[in-house]
Amino acid sequence: MSPAETDPDRPIILVSDWHLPPEHTAQAEFFVRFCQEVCQGARQVFVLGDLFQAWVGPKHAARPGHARVLETLERLAGSGTTVVLLRGNRDFLLDRKVTRRYGLELAGDAWCGELSGKRYRLSHGDEVCEDDRLHKFLRAVTGHPPLSTLAKLAPLSAGDAVARFYRRLSDRRRTRRKTRKLEPSADRLRAEFDAGPDVIVIGHWHEPRLQTDAFGLAGKTFVMLGECTEVQASYAEILGEAIRLKTFPGQ
């Protein structure tokens, strides 16, 4: 661990669910501003999945919107901030071939470790959709190694078509989740806490929430991050031992 990663005066930033499209949009420029004004100078920045609207393979790095985002993160990493990406349900095909090229770390589906003296578990959060069986089935099928390998090797035009299909499907699933008022599985989260973390942070649900003594467990903290749009970003900041939910621009 570098000295910068243990400097208590520098914050740690946790963010997720930007859903950035392949086109160069106003949202991509807002992401650049967020990195410049919130993330610059941070010890570490963790992106808890769904950075991209959809990601089919390495060829997507050439799309103008994705290139702008990745180059921004590359500059951030080059300035001394450790940037760690986690996979989400929209960009679960993201691989180290891409992240290494830009000086970024890829933690996979979850990251577990110590931050500011507390044990953290970070993940996208769709894995705790225990009541959404169709989502779990689709994630298992599309993430199956032979299918994911074929997707990565497909021409960019075919990848774009797959990405558009998956975006529409994911948007419908999100609407259905809100209609049915689905919640993260409390039993699954209690089991995760039993494994040792003091704090669990997830994205995916787009509803900012911070619970202390979560699920009746003394001393345990549960955090859900909100989504990020072209005008406002929801994120968490760890400074010292405290974690706080914040928005950018501040209200």
d(CA 52, CA 81): 21
* pTM for the predicted model, two decimal places: 0.88
pLDDT: which is higher, 228 or 143: 228
| Digit-coded pLDDT (tens) for 53-98 | 888 888 889 999 999 999 999 999 999 999 999 999 888 889 898 9
pLDDT: which is higher, 163 or 141: 163
Please give the structure tokens belonging to residue 177: 């989740």
Contact 129, 209 (CB under 8 A): no
Contact 46, 15 (CB under 8 A): yes
Q: What pLDDT is attached to residue 145? A: 59
Its CATH architecture, for the domain 3-248, is 4-Layer Sandwich (3.60)
Contact 12, 115 (CB under 8 A): yes
- Tell me which residue has tokens 């959709």: 129
Helix (H, G, I), strand (E, B) or coil at 105: strand
| Digit-coded pLDDT (tens) for 181-240 | 678 999 999 999 999 999 999 999 999 999 999 999 999 999 999 999 999 999 999 999
Structural domain boundaries in the chain: 3-248
Examine the pLDDT at 171 and tell me if it is beyond 80.
Answer: no
Name which of 41, 107, 97 is nearest 70 in CA terms.
97
Residues with Cβ within 8 Å of 203's Cβ and at least 6 positions away in sequence, in order, are: 16, 17, 48, 49, 50, 88, 124, 125, 224, 225, 227
Contact 248, 38 (CB under 8 A): yes
d(CA 154, CA 119): 40
d(CA 38, CA 33): 8
Residues with Cβ within 8 Å of 181's Cβ and at least 6 positions away in sequence, in order, are: none
Examine the pLDDT at 179 and tell me if it is beyond 80.
Answer: no
Chain centroid offset of residue 223 CA: 13
Residues with Cβ within 8 Å of 11's Cβ and at least 6 positions away in sequence, in order, are: 42, 43, 237, 238, 239
Return the bridge partners of 114, or none.
119
The packing angle between helices 26-34 and 64-78, to 10°, is 10
Cβ burial, residue 134 (10 Å; 0-12/13-18/19+): exposed
Name which of 98, 65, 99 is nearest 82 in CA terms.
99
d(CA 35, CA 75): 10
